[in-house]
Amino acid sequence: MTHEVGHFLGLRHIWGDGNCSVDDFCLDTPNAAAANYGCNTTDSCPDGQGNDMIENYMDYTDDLCMNIFTNDQKLRILAVMDNSPRRVSLKTSPTSAPIPLFANDAEVKIENYCTGGLVTQHIKYSFTIEELLILLQQP
């Protein structure tokens, strides 16, 4: 998910979708010849800056070894957020505003539940979120 969000915010793969001569437009990510898989350190472009950055979210390595966006990648994301017509609106999106809650905003519904040979149909319990949280906290 983090990798795909990186694309959404303007980042390219660390190999620049090409070879050692095509980069990702971020100077602090060493060029790579292709995607890396697993968590093995490699230098696919020996004439470049150093080892492939396998810990970068924009590679294909295993999730366990990914943990970084570089400073230049962060600057690229900010530039996209400030200038892309489709992304700049995210900064003023009302999605962080609380949504109005309804009186009964949670519900447990049991249909055709059988106990002791008796069939009870369409039992419905309604709770507010606060009541449900209190019930869940009881031993």
The residues annotated with a catalytic role in the active site are 4
Hey, is 107 helix, strand or coil? Answer: strand
Segment 130-133 long-range contacts (CB within 8 Å, at least 24 positions apart)? 132/106
d(CA 120, CA 103): 26
d(CA 75, CA 81): 10
Tokens encoding 4? 């795909």
d(CA 55, CA 66): 4
